[in-house]
């Protein structure tokens, strides 16, 4: 458990995810970057894309965001996003619905066609 750190993802609607995690990959404005425990402190803007959270059991949680900022400390990462959709569900139709919501959220905010195509590719790969 000593390799875990805390993450919180907050939107104007409140906290949508928080917990102890092993790693997170974030869609930085200059490209994706990963964070592990004891990462150097930083603040970065985020573009629309997918936040990939790796939990202690090595399972992944995926959250689509439209844009925001992240503050990284050695033992905590805080994401402030304008909007977010947690891509999960208890059955295939619920997951499909959340994938569609995630695509719409990202499409509404992104003017970068290359970043948009890369994000949609990631989302489409979740289905298969």
**With helix as H, strand as E and coil as C, how does the chain read?**
CCCCEEEEEEECCEEEEEEEECEEEEEECCEEEEEECCCCCEEEEECCEEEEEECCCCCEEEEEECCEEEEECCCEEEEEECCEEEECCCCHHHHHHHHHHHHHHHHHHCCCHHHHHHHHHHHHHHHC
pTM of the model: 0.73
Q: What is the pLDDT of residues 19-72, one digit of tens each?
A: 999 999 999 999 999 999 999 999 999 988 889 999 999 988 888 888 899 999
**Structure-token pair, residue 90:** 């208890």
Q: What is the pLDDT of residues 68-109, one digit of tens each?
A: 999 999 999 999 998 888 876 555 666 667 667 666 766 665
Mean pLDDT of the chain: 82
Tokens 């750190």 belong to 5
pLDDT at 86: 80
């Amino acid at each position: 458990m000593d390799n875990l750190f805390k993450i919180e993802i907050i939107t104007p609607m409140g906290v949508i995810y928080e917990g102890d995690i092993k790693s997170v990959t974030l869609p930085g404005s200059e490209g994706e970057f990963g964070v592990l425990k004891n990462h150097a402190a930083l603040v970065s803007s985020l573009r629309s894309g997918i936040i990939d959270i790796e939990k202690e059991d090595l399972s992944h949680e995926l959250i689509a965001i439209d844009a925001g900022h992240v503050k990284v400390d050695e033992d905590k990462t805080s994401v402030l996003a304008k909007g977010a959709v947690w891509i999960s569900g208890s059955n295939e139709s619920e997951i499909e619905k959340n994938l569609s919501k995630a695509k719409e959220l990202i499409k509404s905010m992104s003017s970068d066609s290359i970043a948009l195509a890369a994000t949609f590719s990631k989302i489409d790969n979740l289905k298969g």
